[in-house]
Amino acid sequence: MKIFRVNMSNLSFVAEEVPEEWKVLGGRGLTSVIVAKEVDPTCHPLGNKNKLVFAPGLLTGTMAANAGRLSVGAKSPLTGGIKESNSGGTAAQRLAKLGVKALIIEEIPQGDKWYCLHVNKDGVEIKEETELLGKGNYEVIHTLTSRYGENTGVITIGQAGEYKMSAANISVKDPKGHIRSLGRGGLGAVMSSKRIKFITLDDNDGEGIKILDKEKFKKAASIFNKGLLSHPVSGNALPKYGTNVLINILNEAGGLPTKNFRMGQFDGAEKISGETMYDTIMSREGDPTHGCHVGCVIRCSQTYNDKDNKYLTSGFEYETIWGFGAGCTVDDLDVIAYIDQICDDIGIDTIETAGTMMVAMEAGILPWGDGNGILNLFKNEIKEGTPLGRILGNGADFTGKAFGVTRVPTVKRQSMPAYDPRSVKGIGVTYATTTMGADHTAGYSVTSNILNVGGHIDPLAKEGQIELSRNLQIATAAIDSAGLCIFTAFAILDSDPVSHALIAMINAQYGTNWSVDDWFNLGRQVLKTERAFNEAAGFTNKDDRLPEFFSEPVPPHNATWDFSGEELDQVHNF
């Protein structure tokens, strides 16, 4: 495999040998190690010194199910700390099949021209781009698919990225030609700072995936893949209802943040629930289940059609539906679907902008429950890059400052996801302490707090939450390094044969002799690397705290956030 390095200052490309210490790294493990080694932690995230690093996971491109995630890393313009965001789509497997261990983009061009990159077996071609500037992601993907063919992988930024908004994401074409998002942390703005509108990937005649012991790999992959299908969550619940199955459960548990985290239950929950969504999809001839990448057996994605049975959006996730729904007290699933569509098209993170809309409602920019008002802010302000749009597009924290709002649900300037940290305390510990800013995927304690997977810990009590979050953050950092979908964790956590098969696949592919402990050591090392970067960037323990309004009780349990700073700091003792 090779490291592909692109320098945008002199528009050059070089293929480098993979350093020994990076050979058994991939995904988040590799992006974070490269960012930590090569990026000055004090640099401006949109300046010449930041780098944008793309890496497929350790298992990406193999016959391991659900291993097609692409990690992207940089210093985040949203948080000011290290960032890794990952996504499905068609890009990671193409990079892996081309033998690209990582694609590193450094420096920024002189002048104001825009560029595109084309990655193929010969390397990276850097070309000037004019035609697709100012266009949304759907048009970019459709145009490039016509230009290069169905099999071309596409990584692109929309208008939000072009404006260098801190909530801008990077979009990846999925197998159906729709959009998956490297959502969090403003990585679209970093790509824009390099003046790259899109990257296309052609894996024809690539060197392919090298596996040292193919027979052993095949056996382990078979156990792993069957394990995912036989687990009740990854085998049944996710394929049928998608991630939005959680609306009714979190609402019932009193953990569905409603009206900017004022309540834990939403009167309109049933109208935006996974069950309602499933019935709507079926009645409109949509597709309730498909994968976000080739080789996905969980298939939690779906196609949601409008009232005329025409495509409206896909990859319609719980977090998005919660945020613009319960978070903003909107109970119209169709309006939320239109918001999801425009967020995909302009390339902006739905979790960050949902938090932003809650803050905008606090500020009186629009009334609570005004779904069409949200849609208009995206269409007429953010997409157009108006002064108001540029404030909103920079996220909840920025918007709170602009309008003097103090009820801003962020940690490290990143918006909080769809679980109230007072009534699902384990996830609050993760929000506070992860290197990423408020991020549920970094250590999904909801699994033991609410879902009864991997044991049960009372969501309303403090006991056991620090250890739970720590262990999950470590495990997640390792899973993200393998290129695995985080939903594989349900089976990995619950089943020894599945976790052992995972290690066996790594050993068979790379000739290592890892134990489960070595696997977790990888996760520990990733977290330590990321935390050291953040400390050098200026973060301290005081950044590992929740906003002060979480000391208010939240109904129905009247739970408060009651962890001390000293208790939270224990997460990092490993």
Partner 1 sequence: MEVKVKLFGDLREGRFKEEKTQLEENSCVIDIINKHNLPLEKVAICMVNSHVAEFGQVLQNQDTVAFSPPVGGM
Chain contacts with partner 1 (rule: CB under 8 A)? 232-234, 236-238, 240-246, 248-249, 252-254, 265, 270, 274-275, 300, 317-319, 440-441, 444, 446-447, 450-453, 456, 458-460, 486-487, 490, 556-557
Show Cβ contacts of residue 346 under 8 Å, excluding neighbours closer than 6 positions. Answer: 136, 137, 158, 159, 160, 378, 382, 383
| CA dihedral sign, ordered 34, 39, 41, 44 | negative
Nearer to partner 1, 276 or 512 (CB): 276
Main-chain phi, psi angles of 47, to 5 degrees: -100, -175
Distance between alpha carbon 122 and the CA centroid of its chain, in Å?
Answer: 30
Nearer to partner 1, 110 or 558 (CB): 558
Nearer to partner 1, 196 or 453 (CB): 453
Least distance in angstroms from the C-beta of 225 to partner 1: 17
According to DSSP, residue 18 is labeled P
Nearer to partner 1, 234 or 341 (CB): 234
Strand-pair category, 414-415 with 410-411: antiparallel
C-alpha to C-alpha distance for 151 and 66, rounded to whole angstroms:
19
Nearer to partner 1, 225 or 394 (CB): 225
Nearer to partner 1, 206 or 454 (CB): 454
N- to C-terminal Cα separation, the chain: 33
Least distance in angstroms from the C-beta of 499 to partner 1: 17
Least distance in angstroms from the C-beta of 261 to partner 1: 17
Q: Is 155 left (phi over 0), alpha (psi -120 to 50) or beta?
A: beta
C-alpha to C-alpha distance for 111 and 129, rounded to whole angstroms:
14
Nearer to partner 1, 156 or 248 (CB): 248
Least distance in angstroms from the C-beta of 273 to partner 1: 8
Q: Where are the beta strands (DSSP E) in 130-230?
A: 153-156, 170-173, 179-182, 196-201
Among 65, 90, 49, CA closest to 482: 65
Least distance in angstroms from the C-beta of 501 to partner 1: 20
Nearer to partner 1, 62 or 86 (CB): 86
Nearer to partner 1, 491 or 546 (CB): 491
Least distance in angstroms from the C-beta of 371 to partner 1: 22
Least distance in angstroms from the C-beta of 456 to partner 1: 7
Least distance in angstroms from the C-beta of 427 to partner 1: 10
Least distance in angstroms from the C-beta of 269 to partner 1: 11
Least distance in angstroms from the C-beta of 270 to partner 1: 7
Q: The tokens 């699933």 sit on which residue?
A: 333
Assess contact for 148 and 200: CB atoms under 8 A.
yes
Q: The tokens 């420096």 sit on which residue?
A: 107
Nearer to partner 1, 105 or 442 (CB): 442
C-alpha to C-alpha distance for 80 and 82, rounded to whole angstroms:
7
Show Cβ contacts of residue 456 under 8 Å, excluding neighbours closer than 6 positions. Answer: 448, 449
**Max intra-chain CA distance, the chain:** 62
Least distance in angstroms from the C-beta of 487 to partner 1: 6
C-alpha to C-alpha distance for 476 and 435, rounded to whole angstroms:
12
Nearer to partner 1, 139 or 252 (CB): 252
Least distance in angstroms from the C-beta of 160 to partner 1: 23
Q: How many residues does the chain have?
A: 574
Q: Pull the structure tokens for residue 104.
A: 């590193």
Least distance in angstroms from the C-beta of 65 to partner 1: 16
The SS3 assignment for 242 reads coil
Nearer to partner 1, 266 or 490 (CB): 490
Q: Pull the structure tokens for residue 386.
A: 């108006």
How many C-beta neighbours within 10 Å does residue 40 have?
Answer: 13
C-alpha to C-alpha distance for 194 and 197, rounded to whole angstroms:
9
Nearer to partner 1, 72 or 238 (CB): 238
User: Burial, 215: exposed, middle or buried (Cβ in 10 Å; 0-12, 13-18, 19+)?
Assistant: exposed
Least distance in angstroms from the C-beta of 184 to partner 1: 12
Q: Pull the structure tokens for residue 7.
A: 């320098």
DSSP 188-245: HHHHHHTTEEEEEE--TT------S-HHHHHHHHHHHHHHHHHSHIIIIIHHHH-GGG
Among 307, 235, 217, 312, CA closest to 495: 235
Show Cβ contacts of residue 341 under 8 Å, excluding neighbours closer than 6 positions. Answer: 312, 313
Show Cβ contacts of residue 25 under 8 Å, excluding neighbours closer than 6 positions. Answer: 33, 58, 481
Nearer to partner 1, 233 or 391 (CB): 233
Main-chain phi, psi angles of 16, to 5 degrees: -115, 155
